[in-house]
């Protein structure tokens, strides 16, 4: 079992990391975490190379991630909320998924054949909701051939309660790990 986690948090020991760690500590098999703020992956530059080739023109760590996406069983998108949306840095990294989209739409070639399961972890506080970020995360997962998504893990009062102390969020993280571990 292989799980890929996209972490959109700049804080290595923050609230998002606390819930990701709850999931990871219970996962079976191997996992890879892509930390959007520290991975050195550049955003899509809309060069259109992927309209004619089954690859991206940018040579960086995303090439390794593309392979992991193709072969993994599970994918999780985890992010703090900034203005009721996943972080900009996470969106920059995930903009490189455009390569998969363009290959499917323009070249009629589906590069991710293996169906996957997925999960969403969102952390935030304040007066913004989670609806926009959930929609974004679901679209992202869909384009990586995620066909089953667990109920989201959400801690939306981190301005008054750390995620690690949010019993409902921690319980949801445990359930997410169980969902991802289920045999298919």
The count of domains in the chain is 1
pLDDT of residue 183: 82
pLDDT at residue 129 in the model: 86
The two tokens of residue 162 are 């750390």
The domain containing residue 174 runs over which residues?
A: 2-181
Residue 23: how many CA atoms within 13 Å on its side-chain side?
A: 37
Report the pLDDT value the prediction gives residue 152, as an integer from 0 to 100.
96
Question: Distance between CA 78 and CA 24 in Å, rounded?
Answer: 12
Tell me the CATH number at 74: 3.40.50.360
| Residue 162 CB neighbours (<10 A) | 14
Distance CA 29, CA 117 (A): 14
The four Cα atoms 177, 94, 72, 135 give a dihedral, to 10 degrees, of: 50
Average pLDDT for residues 33-49, to the nearest whole number? Answer: 97
Per residue in 73-87, pLDDT (tens digit) is 999 999 999 999 999
156-181 pLDDT, tens per residue?
A: 999 999 999 999 999 999 999 999 99
| 39 vs 149: CA distance, rounded Å | 25
Q: Which two tokens stand for residue 71?
A: 């072969």
Q: For residue range 123-154, list pLDDT tens digits in order.
A: 998 888 899 999 999 999 999 999 999 999 99
């Amino acid at each position: 079992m292989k799980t890929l986690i996209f972490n959109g948090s700049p804080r290595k020991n923050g609230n998002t990391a606390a819930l990701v760690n709850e999931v990871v500590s219970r996962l079976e098999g191997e996992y890879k975490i892509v930390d959007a703020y520290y991975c050195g992956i550049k955003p899509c530059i809309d060069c259109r190379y992927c309209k004619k080739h089954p690859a991206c023109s940018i040579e960086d760590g995303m090439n390794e991630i593309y392979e992991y996406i193709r072969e993994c069983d599970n994918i999780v998108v985890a992010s703090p909320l900034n203005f009721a949306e996943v972080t900009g840095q996470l969106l920059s990294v995930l903009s490189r998924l455009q390569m998969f989209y363009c290959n499917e739409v323009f070249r009629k070639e589906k590069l991710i054949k293996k169906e996957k399961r997925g999960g969403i972890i969102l952390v935030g506080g304040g007066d913004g909701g989670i609806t926009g970020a959930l929609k974004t995360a679901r679209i992202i997962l869909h384009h990586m051939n995620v066909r089953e998504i667990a109920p989201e893990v959400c801690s939306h009062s981190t301005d008054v309660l750390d995620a690690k102390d949010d019993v409902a969020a921690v319980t949801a993280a445990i359930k997410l790990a169980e969902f991802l571990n289920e045999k298919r």
